[in-house]
Amino acid sequence: MIDLKYVSTELEKAARETSAFILKESKEFDINRTEKKGLNDFVSYVDKGSEKMLVEKLSLLLPEAGFITEEGTSKKIGLRYCWVIDPLDGTTNFLHGFHPYAISIALKEHDEVIAGIVYEVGGNESFTAWKGGGAWLNGSKIHASKALKLADSLVATGFPYSDFKLLDSYMKCLTHFCKHTHGIRRLGSAAIDLAYVACGRFDAFYEYGLHEWDIAAGMLLVREAGGRVSDFSGNEKNLTGEEFIAANGFVFAEILEIVSKFMKN
41, 61, 62 from 81: Cα distances, Å: 29, 12, 8
Q: Domain containing 186 — which CATH number? A: 3.40.190.80
Q: Check whether residue 135 and residue 223 sit in a common domain.
A: no
Which residues constitute the domain of residue 169?
150-263
Rounded-to-integer distance, Cα 86 and Cα 191, Å: 9
CA 106, CA 113: separation in Å to the nearest integer?
7
Distance CA 18, CA 65 (A): 20
What phi-psi label fits residue 110: left (phi over 0), alpha (psi between -120 and 50 degrees) or beta?
left
Please name the residues in contact with 123: beta carbons below 8 A apart, sequence gap of 6 or more.
Answer: 99, 100
The number of domains in the chain is: 2
Query: Is it true that the peptide bond before 160 is cis, omega within 30 degrees of 0?
Result: no
Answer yes or no: do 126 and 16 share one domain.
yes
What is this structure's pTM? 0.94
Q: What is the CATH number of the domain that holds 91?
A: 3.30.540.10
pLDDT at 43: 66
Residues 197 and 116 in one domain: no
- Of 93, 120, 142, the last residue of a domain is 142
Neighbours of 165 (CB within 10 A): 10
* DSSP characters over 8-19: HHHHHHHHHHHH
Shared-domain flag, residues 169 and 127:
no
Of the three residues 142, 169, 184, the one that is the final residue of a domain is 142
The residue out of 120, 142, 164 marking a domain boundary is 142
- The pLDDT score that the predictor gives to residue 44 is 77
Tens digit of pLDDT at every position of the chain (265 positions): 799 999 999 999 999 999 999 999 888 877 766 665 544 445 678 888 999 999 999 999 999 999 999 888 888 999 999 999 999 999 889 988 999 999 999 999 999 999 999 999 999 999 999 999 999 999 999 999 999 999 999 999 998 776 788 889 999 999 999 999 999 999 999 999 999 999 999 999 999 999 999 999 999 999 999 999 999 999 999 999 999 999 999 999 999 999 999 987 5
**Beta carbons of 79 and 93 less than 8 angstroms apart:** no
Same domain, 9 and 137: yes
